[in-house]
Chains A and B, each alone.
Chain A
Amino acid sequence: MATKQLVQIKVNGRNREAMVEPRLLLVHFIRNIPGLTGTHIGCDTSHCGACTVVLDGKTVKSCTMFAVQADGCELMTVEGLATNGALHPLQEGFKQEHGLQCGFCTPGMLMSSYVLLQKNPSPSEEEIRWGISGNLCRCTGYQNIVKSVQYAAAKMGQGEKHDLPDIA
């Protein structure tokens, strides 16, 4: 057995640490140490994107990374999207626009969309499709996922306007 390593990762704002074998994949760390099972293992071969998480602000496939690589990093999973029980506009969008059927790809879709909207708050349809091009969905044909992201972009855009000082 290989030498275990101490891994400390801030997951959704909370420090998590464990002594792990270097071969432990990040996705298994996430699912087994803090028990956050929202991050799914789909293809396990770096194709489907169901295991997508946000690591230091960038999307990565947690099935294609070792937990030891994320030591000292900040990680966000789908469980980090909602605040105080209130759904994130993206989660609301997926609900309103029927952006999921079986739901297996949804956590990964949400995380890719989350980073997309952070970088580009009002993406075109093509930019949305490009942004989620690393995430496979076998149910929806992507149509409603695109609508869900558009819903969230519109809602988040309104929120920003709402925050402008009232000069009337």
Chain B
Amino acid sequence: MIPAAFEYLRPKTIPEAIGFLQQYGDDAKILSGGQSLIPMMKFRLARPTYLIDINRIAGLSYIREEGGYLKIGGLTREADLDSSALIHAKYPILADTARVIADPQVRNMATLAGNLAHGDPANDHPATMLALRAEVVASGPKGERILPVDGFFVTLFTTQLEHDEIVTEVRIPVPPPRSGGAYFKLERKVGDFATAAVAAQLTIDGDKVCRSAGIGLTNAGATPVKAAKAEDFLRGKTLDEANIAQAGQLAAEEAQPSSDLRGPEEYKRGLVKELTRRALTRAYERAGK
């Protein structure tokens, strides 16, 4: 399959890339990892007239803690997350997420920023970023805007990004001590989108009490779902089996999955309930370490 013809632009700097976006407006698309965009172009579901390849912009690939945030560059690949000692040691929820995205070849190209900017509720990082209360740094002609991930996803394939903005960084507040998180995904086979998946992040007080909870759901609605009722329910509660199960029940009620080839709606709700229980249980174990 051959995509429609396009003009190829390869800016060396972010201002140059933003300049192209201003010049060409909606006719232009940013090419980052390209692992969603290029298949869409081959199916001609996307037909940009100008393709702005940002892969050669220097200094956009990094993973570092700075100023109370874990900062991940706009061109940081999934494979970089999966091979990062910092991520494995302190953010295992991110390692959980990165390693179940697509397959090894795709992870060598695909970027975290692109995974969010694409606005696909079937993508894996949005749920994790909701659980972690992450922020997206959008760079545009007027400078940077900091957009909380909660609210970033407007509707299917639509985010708060303006046409002349680029995601240059994703930042996650460094969790307090005694925090932990996990991502659980059920997929039919490697490379498939989630039938359902759940990200859970917990901070605990003492040994057993939940101080705060973040829960995000993948492929459970037109946008990534923040299971706010389940989060609120857990705050201040003892993290015993009954409360964790009840949080799973609430998350399942908040999910809005559609019946499709991956299963009927009822089955997917059941999955959300069980995967929430498992993700919270693992998050609690990790927080207690």
Q: Among the listed stretches A30-38, A60-68, A89-97, A154-162, which one makes contact with chain B, having 4 or more residues with CB under 8 Å of it? A: A60-68
The answer to whether A61 and B106 touch (CB under 8 A), given A23-B6, A66-B8, A66-B38, is yes
* B54 → A minimal CB distance (Å): 11
Q: Would you call A64 and B39 a contact (CB within 8 A)?
A: yes
* B9 → A minimal CB distance (Å): 9
Interface string of A1-14 (1 = CB under 8 A from B): 11101000000000
Q: Bound state CA distance, A134 and B106, in angstroms? A: 8
Q: Would you call B55 and A69 a contact (CB within 8 A)?
A: yes
Q: List 8 A-B contacts (CB under 8 A).
A: A1-B5, A23-B4, A46-B39, A58-B108, A60-B105, A61-B105, A65-B109, A133-B104
Indicate the member of B7, B8, B38, B79 with the most A CB atoms within 10 Å: B8
Contacts of B34 in A (CB 8 A): 64-66, 69
Q: Would you call B5 and A23 a contact (CB within 8 A)?
A: yes
Q: Would you call A112 and B7 a contact (CB within 8 A)?
A: no
Interface string of B49-65 (1 = CB under 8 A from A): 00101010000000000
Contacts of A69 in B (CB 8 A): 31, 34, 53, 55
Q: Would you call A112 and B2 a contact (CB within 8 A)?
A: no
* A108 → B minimal CB distance (Å): 9
Contacts of B240 in A (CB 8 A): none
Q: Would you call B104 and A131 a contact (CB within 8 A)?
A: yes
Q: Bound state CA distance, A2 and B199, in angstroms? A: 43
Contacts of A46 in B (CB 8 A): 35, 38-39, 106
Q: Bound state CA distance, A64 and B106, in angstroms? A: 9
Q: Bound state CA distance, A135 and B3, in angstroms? A: 24
- Enumerate chain A interface residues (CB-CB to B < 8 A): 1-3, 5, 21-23, 25, 44-47, 49, 52, 58-61, 64-66, 68-69, 112, 130-131, 133-134
The verdict on B15 contacting chain A, using a C-beta distance below 8 Å, is no
* A88 → B minimal CB distance (Å): 20
Q: Would you call B8 and A68 a contact (CB within 8 A)?
A: yes
Q: Would you call B103 and A64 a contact (CB within 8 A)?
A: no
Q: Bound state CA distance, A68 and B34, in angstroms? A: 13
The verdict on B12 contacting chain A, using a C-beta distance below 8 Å, is no
* A112 → B minimal CB distance (Å): 7
Contacts of B3 in A (CB 8 A): 23
Starting from the known contacts A22-B7, A65-B38, A133-B103, 4 additional A-B residue pairs (CB-CB under 8 Å) come to A22-B6, A23-B3, A58-B108, A130-B104
Q: Bound state CA distance, A134 and B8, in angstroms? A: 28
The verdict on B177 contacting chain A, using a C-beta distance below 8 Å, is no
The answer to whether A60 and B8 touch (CB under 8 A), given A47-B191, A65-B38, is no
* B83 → A minimal CB distance (Å): 9
Q: Bound state CA distance, A112 and B191, in angstroms? A: 15
Q: Would you call A44 and B5 a contact (CB within 8 A)?
A: no
The verdict on B217 contacting chain A, using a C-beta distance below 8 Å, is no
Q: Would you call A112 and B105 a contact (CB within 8 A)?
A: yes
The verdict on B42 contacting chain A, using a C-beta distance below 8 Å, is yes
